[in-house]
């Protein structure tokens, strides 16, 4: 018998068999939208959604995300991409086509605090997070009894600074084995090495329990409490080799006051963390994010 999530995914895939997305960024100049639109029209595609942004019309960067329908897309995809190459070269584009019915494979990394993992699993089970959660990797056994009953493989790989390279080698092998597209650090309390980050550039999403760059590192709620803040927040960002300083995807806040102790702030903050991380992942899965330098454009 199929599970609820299997049925939801099959319906989603069937509905979107002929739907694709095109993401572009390039130097801004006249004619980009006209050329791309005509290209899609000439290939019998129907544009469903189009969003664009120009950082500076005079010599700046141009960004666009187009979602479109194309009959018999699967058979035409390779030729479509080949035919687009001359346009991409003429306008000096960074570009990619993605195909909506192809589920992105997600790996979730987690330590002992499980609130973000639980939120993602709930969103996935309810059909609101459309993805293939291929594997959960942790440096503790804490979440095994939650994850494995859902049919998701769970691996416990101890990790600390003394054995970090050995642990990451095992992790990288698993990511390759499961052909993972995106890695989610759902409160995975370990620092990743430059080699690991470079191997998955702009494909590792982290949640930080404060407003970056404020309160970087450990115990941010204690730092916030000691500072007497009136707002606490959470930041989801892509991981780079600069700790907690990667391109920001999403942020949110909640009010606190002098009556809230550190534990109160932590509980309020965890609620914000869950929603911020879930939104960031959905936007990534929906190909709504273009990374430019250390910033993101989110359509």
Rounded CA separation 248/235 (Å): 7
- pLDDT given for residue 30 in this prediction: 93
pLDDT surpassing 60 at residue 212: no
pLDDT surpassing 90 at residue 218: no
Domain 17-99 class in CATH: alpha beta
pTM of the entire predicted model:
0.93
Rounded CA separation 2/4 (Å): 7
**Burial status of residue 71 (CB atoms within 10 A of its CB: 0-12, 13-18, 19 or more):** exposed
- pLDDT given for residue 232 in this prediction: 87
Beta strands in the chain (DSSP E): 19-27, 46-54, 61-69, 94-99, 105-110, 132-138, 154-156, 182-185, 204-208, 231-238, 248-255, 289-292, 295-298
Domain definitions of the chain by residue range: 17-99, 105-298
- pLDDT given for residue 58 in this prediction: 72
- pLDDT given for residue 162 in this prediction: 85
CATH code for the structural domain at 105-298:
3.40.50.170
Question: In this predicted model, what pLDDT tens digit does every residue of 92-148 receive, in sequence order?
Answer: 999 999 999 999 999 999 999 999 999 999 999 999 999 999 999 999 999 999 999
Evaluate whether 289 touches 53 at the Cβ level (below 8 Å): no
Rounded CA separation 235/212 (Å): 6
Rg of the chain over all Cα atoms, to the nearest angstrom: 21
Please provide the DSSP assignment of 184-233 as one string: EESS--SPPPHHHHHHTTT-EEEEESSSTTTT-SS-HHHHHHHHT-SEEE
Residue 12's pLDDT band, with cuts at 50, 70 and 90, is very high
Average pLDDT, the chain: 93
Residue 84's pLDDT band, with cuts at 50, 70 and 90, is very high
Rounded CA separation 31/48 (Å): 20
Its sign, for the CA torsion 246, 247, 250, 251, is positive
Known catalytic residues?
244
């Amino acid at each position: 018998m199929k599970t609820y999530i299997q049925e939801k995914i099959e319906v989603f895939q069937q509905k979107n068999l002929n739907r694709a997305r095109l993401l572009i960024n390039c130097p801004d100049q006249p004619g980009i939208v006209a050329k791309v639109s005509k290209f899609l029209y000439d290939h019998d595609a129907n544009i469903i959604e189009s969003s664009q942004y120009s950082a500076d019309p005079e010599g700046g960067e141009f960004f666009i995300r187009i979602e479109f329908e194309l009959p018999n897309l699967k058979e035409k995809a390779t030729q479509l991409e080949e035919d687009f190459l001359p346009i991409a070269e003429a306008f000096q584009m960074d570009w990619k086509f993605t195909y909506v019915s192809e589920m992105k494979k997600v790996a979730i990394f987690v330590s002992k605090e499980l609130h973000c993992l639980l939120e993602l699993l709930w969103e996935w089970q309810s059909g609101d997070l459309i993805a293939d959660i291929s594997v959960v990797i942790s440096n503790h056994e804490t979440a095994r009894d939650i994850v494995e009953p859902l049919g998701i493989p769970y691996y416990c790989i101890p990790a600390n600074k003394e054995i970090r390279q050995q642990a990451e080698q095992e992790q990288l092998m698993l990511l390759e084995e499961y052909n993972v597209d995106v890695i989610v650090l759902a409160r995975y309390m370990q620092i990743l090495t430059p080699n690991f980050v470079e191997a998955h550039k702009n494909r590792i999403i982290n949640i930080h329990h404060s407003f970056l760059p404020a309160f970087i590192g450990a115990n941010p709620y204690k730092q916030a409490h000691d500072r007497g803040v009136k707002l606490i927040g959470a930041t989801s960002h892509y991981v780079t080799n600069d700790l907690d300083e990667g391109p920001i995807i999403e942020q949110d806040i909640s009010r606190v006051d002098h009556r809230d102790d550190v534990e109160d702030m932590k509980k309020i903050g965890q609620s914000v963390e869950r929603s911020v991380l879930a939104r960031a992942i959905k936007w990534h899965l929906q190909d709504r994010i273009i990374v430019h330098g250390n910033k993101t454009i989110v359509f």
